Structure 1
Amino acid sequence: MDFIDKAFENKLKAEMLDLTRAPLVSVVIPMYNAAKYLPACLNSVLEQSYRNLEIICVDDGSPDNCADIVNSYDDNRIVLVKQNNRGLAGARNTGIRWAKGDFVALLDADDTWFPKKIEIHVSHLRANPDIGISYSGSQFIDEAGTDMKIGQYPKHKNISADDIFCRNPVGNGSAPVLRKAVFSEIAFFSPEHGHADAMYFDESFRQSEDVECWLRIALSTKWKFEGVNEVLTYYRVNGGGLSANWQKQLAAWERSVEKNRQIDPDFVAKWESLARAYQYRYLARRAIQSRDASSARMLTLLAFKSNSSIIVKDFSRSAITATCAILLSILSTPQYEALERQAMGIPA
């Protein structure tokens, strides 16, 4: 019995020693009207195989009970920060400023992670000191948390600035884990937003704030982007308003282009038409998801008109987008959805 107790004690000491040697990871979770999904989000962090975490939950003036949910957890790694509503960029900025870790992992409150996500990203970053942004593929889930059988499986090696501009391989705001040093390098101040704190994401953006930030990092620093060739994030696709906001999404993307044009005008001039084609196609796919046939058709045509080489560079996805836009226009919604389920192998 004593032998068993001693072995357990030694194992525990070894685990504690390993924990103290492991770099601290700061998980930043912005919260606004996310109470419905927040427990699953938090549980996915607490269940990570990598344990040396701090979890910074930023209540961005949320009108629901997000703060109460956070306070119901008995885990001293969780920190609750409250602020007046400043949007997703403002909530992320606050969380990053609070972060004490060597690495910062971003997680939106309606998304979740696979159990080994942080462990894999920490290993990736520690093995590659020139990489500043490590990201993963993502699996799409619907509002109920059901696997949609589709996802984002981006290019993960040899990432250049034009990859960031045209394709955004990072994919979504819950996929990347970054070195804190990257944020320190791109920090700026903008007192017109009502505070004197450092900003990393531009708080004047309410959409496309991550796209703008990634390209700014690519154009203004020497840090490399690289993904791990695994799906480690569950990204929730909310059904409401997917295409209703496509005009706002496009306007925000246009603003991000203009902002980064100031850093490297020759780069933007060279790649803008192709990047615009990919952006139109992305918005077309969002319109298809929300069954907006007219927007899907128009955006698909705009993509091909902006830069027709998108058809050759990514024939499969371009062809599928165009086909779906056409079918959505000529079939009833039930017919289209039945065909879509059949194509994805989902039982009726």
Structure 2
Amino acid sequence: MPQISVVIPNWNGAAFLPACLDALRAQTFRDFETVLVDNGSADDSVSLARRQYPEVTVIELPQNRGFSAAVNHGIRNSAGDIVALLNNDTQADPRWLERAADCMARHPRAGSVACLVVCLGREHVIDSAGDEAAPWGAVFNRGHLHPAGPPFDAETPVFGFCGSAALIRRAVFHDIGLFDETMFAYYEDLDMNLRARLRGWDCVYCPDAVVRHRYSGSTHGTGLKLGTEEVYLHLTGVWLKNMPARVMLRHILSATAFHALILFFHGVARVRGRNRMPRVPVIRFLNAMLQQRPAVQKSRTASAADFEKHFMKMSFFRFALNELAGAGKARRG
């Protein structure tokens, strides 16, 4: 049985897979398996993987079921005590698994390890050094677009991992369940991080576990993790599902403003016909998330105070003011 199972979700990623899988072949740590879960690709991803990488286990899904479903298939059909998530458009440094596994061994209370993800072709620029979150509902790529180096060169506890490259103990999935397939794509890592925090699991950031990621430019310069307008709603659903009532009430003004803005942008995207994700009515989606809330909150072992201490100490209004000030400086520059 391998110690680590690397799970790679893929959809039409044939152009990226050789670099990704070649980097795994070059790993100094060898006690791992690779599971590629194909989401109904229309390109030659599956044939390429089977022809050129026979060591890779390929799972074919008949259609694109989204990130969460693909990753869950990989987790169920793998054997490692540790699951390593890896995007198909990444290239891991040769000692990625070695250093991340060593970091996890040094932190037995950590359920996950966040890796240093840098921008492919601009390796001096950070894509993500773990995730940080606000109690009113937003999530940020820590260090996003900052130079690699201090203070992001220190091993440290962080709120959570970014799903593009992370190690997670299988025990975490046994404890809190798999990724929530209610969300087709985006913010499923935030949901997993929140549920793990509610159960008392920690996350540690390992700056020596480096992965290069093909930066798409789809995220804000601040690191605010944004997909397209149609998935902003996932942030609201995740907040309603996971946030303890006491924390909700303490940040109700910021949360109300932030999620009202989300609903506004979601509505605009619908009107403009920009919703490219599977159409799920707002009420149906939020109700599906709320139906999970009683079980999630009943299973919580962390106190509200312990849970809240892992969040950023910034209100939505302060964040908005900082954004406006930054935009003004950019225009004047």
Cα distance 1:244–1:271, how it changes in 2: closer, same or farther (>3 A)? closer
Greater strand content: 2
Q: Which residue of 1 aligns with 2:57?
A: 79
Return the match for 1:213 from 168, 186, 192.
Answer: 192
RMSD: 3.6
Cα distance 1:237–1:71, how it changes in 2: closer, same or farther (>3 A)? same
Q: Which residue of 2 aligns with 1:251?
A: 233
Distance 1:240 1:165 in 2: 16
Aligned residues: 258
Cα distance 1:272–1:96, how it changes in 2: closer, same or farther (>3 A)? farther
Larger Rg: 1
CA contact (8 A) 2:136 2:255 kept: no
Q: Which residue of 1 aligns with 2:247?
A: 267
**How far is 1:56 from its partner?**
0.3
Q: Which residue of 2 aligns with 1:14?
A: none
Q: Which residue of 1 aligns with 2:277?
A: none
Cα distance 1:255–1:32, how it changes in 2: closer, same or farther (>3 A)? same
CA contact (8 A) 1:161 1:215 kept: no
User: Percent of aligned positions with the same letter in both sequences?
Assistant: 26
Distance 1:182 1:244 in 2: 26
Distance 1:246 1:184 in 2: 32
Secondary structure of the structure 2 residue equivalent to 1:176: strand
Note the alpha carbon deviations across 1:123-173, whole angstroms, 9 max, x for none. 1222222111111221123xxxx21642146479xx999699755654531
CA contact (8 A) 2:133 2:139 kept: no
CA contact (8 A) 1:276 1:306 kept: no
Corresponding position: 1:307 with 2:316: yes
Greater helix content: 1
Q: Which residue of 2 aligns with 1:290?
A: none
Distance 1:29 1:227 in 2: 21
RCO higher in structure (CA 8 A, sep ≥6): 2
**How far is 1:40 from its partner?**
0.9
CA contact (8 A) 2:136 2:258 kept: no
Q: Which residue of 2 aligns with 1:228?
A: 206
Unaligned runs of 5+ in 2: 142-158, 261-313
Map 1:59-98; keep pairs closer than 5 Å.
Answer: 59-76=38-55, 78-84=56-62, 85-98=64-77
Which range moves more in the overlay, 99-108 or 227-236? 227-236
CA contact (8 A) 2:165 2:211 kept: yes
Note the alpha carbon deviations across 1:236-278, whole angstroms, 9 max, x for none. 22257989954223211111111213xx222333356668999
**How far is 1:83 from its partner?**
1.1
Amino acid at match of 1:151: I
Note the alpha carbon deviations across 1:316-343, whole angstroms, 9 max, x for none. xx85x5465336656xxxxxxxx8xxxx
Q: Which residue of 1 aligns with 2:163?
A: 173
CA contact (8 A) 1:164 1:215 kept: no
Which range moves more in the overlay, 223-232 or 176-185? 223-232
Cα distance 1:135–1:273, how it changes in 2: closer, same or farther (>3 A)? farther
Cα distance 1:241–1:214, how it changes in 2: closer, same or farther (>3 A)? closer
Note the alpha carbon deviations across 1:183-222, whole angstroms, 9 max, x for none. 11112xxxxxxxxxxxx11112122111112111111x22
Return the match for 2:328 from 326, 329, 337.
Answer: 326
Unaligned runs of 5+ in 1: 1-19, 188-199, 281-304, 312-317, 331-338, 340-348
**How far is 1:179 from its partner?**
0.5
Q: Which residue of 2 aligns with 1:52?
A: 31
Amino acid at match of 1:267: V
Q: Which residue of 1 aligns with 2:215?
A: 237
Amino acid at match of 2:181: E
**How far is 1:95 from its partner?**
0.3
Secondary structure of the structure 2 residue equivalent to 1:82: strand
CA contact (8 A) 1:161 1:218 kept: no
Distance 2:79 2:251 in 1: 37
Secondary structure of the structure 1 residue equivalent to 2:165: coil
Distance 2:83 2:249 in 1: 32
Distance 1:275 1:29 in 2: 34
